[in-house]
Amino acid sequence: MKFENLRVVMTGASRDFGRALAIGFAHLGAEVYVSARTVEAAERTRTEVLGAARDRIHAFGCDLSDPAEIRAFARQVGEHTDRVDLLVNNGARWLDGMELEEASDAQIVETIESTAGGTVLMVKHFLPLLRLSSRPDIVNMVAVQGMGGGGAPAVHEAFYAAKSAQAGFADILSRRLRPSGVRVFSLFPPDFATSDPRSAEWEGIGRDTGEIPCPDEKLTTQALFECIAYAVEQPRDCYIRSFHFEPR
């Protein structure tokens, strides 16, 4: 299988993109250690996987706004595997575009802590396991909200600030970890269509068929997954800092 024995750690895997990534990697042979805010939510992703791939998904609870839970997650994964080959920072606490003053202080702090602080602490506590890999990679799902001038109206200012901090961290991290062989790359997609790797929808309308996509057709989950897979498969002297996608 394409990623047989690849050890993948992924946050925010209970739904949408994180769930699809976890299932996709498991079906390609990877051992996937997934987390969600509760272990029950992460376990739902595991139970929805079909066939032998189900045994390659391991579920954990981890609130990314709680440093103690991140430390515990890293310790628990270390009890299951002697290394991590790929860390995917996908988890983030969404805060919609209500007026700035309408969000509570607790909501704002939790959004920033889980999205920006959680990414920093995940890298910090999983670096020892990543350094034991012969092919360590870190992926950050930043999204368009982390780009200067790219905030969508439906996004709260605190979420935009958190994503911008995450993007800045990813940039300096890439520079500083490169000499040690740990590659860091980030994805900056606009809004995209989430689909299930087990369904025909995963293939996307018009993909690999020679058809011209509809102008209003959204970027697909499969396209983002393939970008990550492509970057991970590249020779170790190939560093892809980021993938930027133009909205349609």
Q: Which CATH number fits domain 7-244: 3.30.565.10, 3.40.50.720, 3.40.50.1220, 3.40.1360.10?
A: 3.40.50.720
Residue 47 phi/psi, 5° resolution? -70, -20
Residue type, 77: V
- pLDDT score for 8: 98
Residues in the chain: 248
From the centroid of its chain, how far is CA 136?
15
Residue 202: per-residue pLDDT: 47
Mean pLDDT, to the nearest integer, of 59-75?
97
222: left (phi over 0), alpha (psi -120 to 50) or beta: alpha
Burial of 6 (0-12, 13-18, 19+ CB in 10 A): buried
- 150's tokens: 């790219």
Query: What pTM, to 2 d.p., does this model score?
Result: 0.87
**Is a pLDDT exceeding 60 seen at residue 67?**
yes
Half-sphere exposure of 84 (CA within 13 A, CB side): 30
**pLDDT one-digit tens code per residue, 97-136:** 678 888 899 999 999 999 999 999 999 999 999 999 999 9
pLDDT-derived band at 216 (thresholds 50, 70, 90) equals: low
Over range 161-175, report the average pLDDT. Answer: 94
